[in-house]
């Protein structure tokens, strides 16, 4: 596979093309193509996730000197969550290079968004191994932290759970309850779907790579559903 157009768009010229290919290789592809040389991208994803969090944390700490740690944590979460990572991956055209099983190729829904998000983290891990920390930091600053002002303006970083609880008690005198509706994926890559309820009524659902992220997403949907922004 020729990755030159992706490299051009990402602004990175890989020395080790096999490393970039690995970043795009989903476990399902390896399972379906046993004779294929190479590895899936989950170790790279593990590495990239850590590098991404460090760079974003450092950026936010220096940019927002008046924010406390709670606000910084919420803003960081909005920048590194699956929705943002999938968006950045899509803008870079990553979807055109994914190596997936036939079954995964057909799925264009929420599952594909998670694959794209994980792939972006794997790409970051690959850049780190191939180019070093400074090049990786430059990639993250250009493609991810550049969305900070947009996210702050939209309010997408606000602690939605706290806001939904505040609005629920203010308008209906009820404390919301969160329930896990579904879990999927292997232990190292769990995905959760959580529902937020007011008494027995399901108000919103949300997905995330952790229960906490899924609860935040459910609260955001609840705020939209109730028009409580």
Structure tokens at 100: 């997936």
Question: Pick the catalytic residue: 42, 45, 121, 215?
Answer: 121
Structure tokens at 67: 């924010």
From the list 126, 111, 158, the residue with the least C-alpha distance to 49 is 126
Structure tokens at 3: 């990755």
| 121 carries an active-site annotation | yes
| 187 carries an active-site annotation | no
Q: How far apart are CA 75 and CA 131, in angstroms?
A: 27
H-only helix segments in the chain: 4-10, 17-23, 27-32, 42-63, 69-80, 82-91, 102-106, 110-131, 133-143, 148-154, 160-172, 211-226
Question: Pick the catalytic residue: 42, 45, 49, 221?
Answer: 49
* Cβ proximity of 196 and 219 under 8 Å: yes
CA angle (146 as vertex; 140, 147 as ends), nearest 5: 110
Q: How far apart are CA 119 and CA 44, in angstroms?
A: 9
Q: Show which residues are catalytic.
A: 49, 121
């Amino acid at each position: 596979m020729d990755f030159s157009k992706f490299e051009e768009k990402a602004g990175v010229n890989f020395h080790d093309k096999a490393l970039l290919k690995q970043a795009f290789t989903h476990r399902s592809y390896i399972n379906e193509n046993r004779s294929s040389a190479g590895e899936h991208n989950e170790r790279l994803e593990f590495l990239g996730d850590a590098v991404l969090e460090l760079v974003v944390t450092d950026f936010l700490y220096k940019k927002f000197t008046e924010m406390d740690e709670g606000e910084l944590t919420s803003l960081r979460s909005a920048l590194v969550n699956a929705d943002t990572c999938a968006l950045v991956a899509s803008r870079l055209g990553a979807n055109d290079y994914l190596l997936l099983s036939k079954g995964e190729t057909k799925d264009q829904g929420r599952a594909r968004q998670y694959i794209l998000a994980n792939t972006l983290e794997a790409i970051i891990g690959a850049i780190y191994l191939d180019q070093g920390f400074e090049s990786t930091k430059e990639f993250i600053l250009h493609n991810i932290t550049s969305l900070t002002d947009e996210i702050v303006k939209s309010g997408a970083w606000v602690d939605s759970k706290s806001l939904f609880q505040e609005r629920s008690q203010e308008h209906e005198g009820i404390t919301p309850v969160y329930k896990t509706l579904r879990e999927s994926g292997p232990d190292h890559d769990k995905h959760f779907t959580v529902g937020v309820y007011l008494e027995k009524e399901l108000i919103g659902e949300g997905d995330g790579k952790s229960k906490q992220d899924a609860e935040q997403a459910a609260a955001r949907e609840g705020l939209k559903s109730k028009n409580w922004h």
